[in-house]
Amino acid sequence: MSSDDYSIRVNGLGKCYEIYETPRDRLKQFIIPPLQRLTGCQPSSYCREYWALQDISFEIRKGESFGIVGRNGSGKSTLLQLITGTIAPTVGTVETRGRVAALLELGSGFNPEFTGRDNVYLNAMLLGMTHDEVDERFDKIAAFADIGDHLDQPVKTYSSGMLVRLAFAVQVQIEPDILIVDEALAVGDALFQKRCFGRIEKLLSDGVTLLFVSHDQESVRTLTNRAILLKGGREVSMGSASQVLLDYRKLLHQEESAYFATLMQPTAEKNQTSVAPAPAPAPASGVSASAAESLTSSLSKEQPSGDEAHSAIAGRADQMSFGDGGVEVVSVGTFDREGEPCAVFYPGDVIRIRIDCVSRIDTDCINVGVRIRSREGIKIYSWGTLNQDMQVLAGLREGDLFWKRQIKAGEQFHVWLECDCTLGSNLYEIQASISYEAKPDYSAQRILHWKDEAAFFQTLMRQDEYFFGGISDLHMAARW
């Protein structure tokens, strides 16, 4: 990247806060250490340091879309505030080039006593627009916000959704060079979110740089090219959005395993047995306890905690996989109606997916499933053996329950998933998973093995025979 080719440059950024136990300690810190320095003594400290962000560096090119992901408290909002200049860094530097529009907190910069109309003028002029420019664009702002007569009511009477509507409508009308969006859009209704994402995509096509923060992984995958994952104020990974989101899912899985291990600690101590860092949930009614005990025993041997868990998972499989172990996906393949290997399908064909698995434990309560994503990273469909089991339990279809199948240690088995091809022309990725389901309703799930990019297939059209546009065939018919 050339020296002039960036919109945002962050170098060695860190933010430290001083935490005081009592107001008296704050006063002591203000007075005593300076006096000690004057007398040549070692200054005392009456506070403890909390680093909300530490040693963060990256560059974002002009016109690039960049995502920030991480759990609550990981430092995402602090990083955005440092970039926008609302707080000053303790160490490091931030450089931005161009006009910055930021949507960080609901109604930030709004006066609650003023009407929505007054706040539009106030907020827009604070962002650098003139009164005449606001006059010229006011109708567009009002139309985008779509809050009707409430525009002339005090902002303090607005709901959170109305606040973010008005704030976003103002921000996108100042024609920013850099648009920074935090989780605020999550409070909007579905129609408003659709309008917002459409506007963001229009800005991206116009060369605007986007810095996007969200817990919605599909939004991050769709809107951004690169991303950074934060944990405890530090960088965990940075790279393509798809790779960072995979690392994020691994991190969430790892922390969830540690949480359940903590819950199981008293029980383990009572029984004087070793604690499994990622135990399976208690079995559902009617399910043998031995299955859960077998799974827990296996995981206690195979699944270390903390950073070791991440390394062990990566070592056992590959960088596209994660899970507690015990049962694994060995391979995934796509086949045609006759069972022959096939990677290209047409509307009306039958798609058959074979998932080969191996178990190292005795267990039941297993679900084998897939998720299908388009080339753009959009989730098209997810389904598994448990979905069919739920239909059987509801009396909607007949058959045996895979969920009750007893799987033995060392057993190799496979599952066929079959469907008609109703997908539009595209390249599709199959993600495969095996999960332990304590209850047959997805309410108590533990991922044993998840595999991204397990297989790929393509759909094409025979345009002279059968053609439709979009992502799925609705089998529409015409009448006259």
Question: Does residue 297 sit in the same domain as residue 410?
Answer: yes
- What average pLDDT does range 210-221 have in this prediction? 84
187 and 316 co-located in one domain: no
Q: Are 241 and 280 in a shared domain? A: no
Residue 153: its H or E element:
none
3-state class (DSSP) for residue 195? helix
pLDDT tens figures, 310-323: 444 444 446 778 88
Does residue 349 form part of some domain? yes
Taking 70 as the threshold, does the pLDDT of residue 462 lie above it?
yes
**432 shares a domain with 357:** yes
The Cα–Cα gap between 99 and 127 comes to 9
Q: What is the pLDDT of residues 361-410, one digit of tens each?
A: 999 999 999 999 988 778 899 999 999 999 999 999 999 999 999 999 99
Whether residues 206 and 316 fall in one domain: no
Extract the tokens encoding 31. 């007075």
Record the pTM.
0.67
- The answer as to whether 452 is a domain residue is yes
Residues 6+ apart with CB under 8 A from 340: none
Q: Has residue 193 been placed in a domain?
A: yes
| Dist CA 38 CA 102 (whole Å) | 43
User: Are 349 and 402 in a shared domain?
Assistant: yes
Interatomic CA distance for residues 243 and 196, integer angstroms: 25
| Same-domain status, 234 and 349 | no
- CATH code: domain of residue 336: 2.70.50.60
Dihedral Cα 29, 33, 34, 37, nearest 10 deg: -170
Same domain, 197 and 286: no
Percent over 90 (pLDDT), the chain = 35
Burial class from Cβ neighbours inside 10 Å (0-12, 13-18, 19+) for residue 395 reads exposed
Type of residue numbered 287: V
Higher pLDDT pick, 479 / 194:
479
Residue 7 CA to residue 410 CA, distance in Å, equals 55
Same domain for 228 and 362, yes or no, is no
Three-state SS annotation for 426-458: EEEEEEEEEEEECCCCCCCEEEEEEEEEEEEEE
- CATH number assigned to the domain comprising residue 183: 3.40.50.300
Residue that is last in its domain, among 223, 245, 267: 245
Q: Quick one: 186 and 295 in the same domain?
A: no
C-alpha span between 378 and 471 (Å, rounded):
10
Total domain count for the chain? 2
239 with 325, same domain: the answer is no
138 in any annotated domain: no
* Residue range(s) defining the domain that contains residue 215: 6-98+177-245
Residue 393 lies inside a defined structural domain of this protein: yes
Whether 155 is covered by a domain: the verdict is no
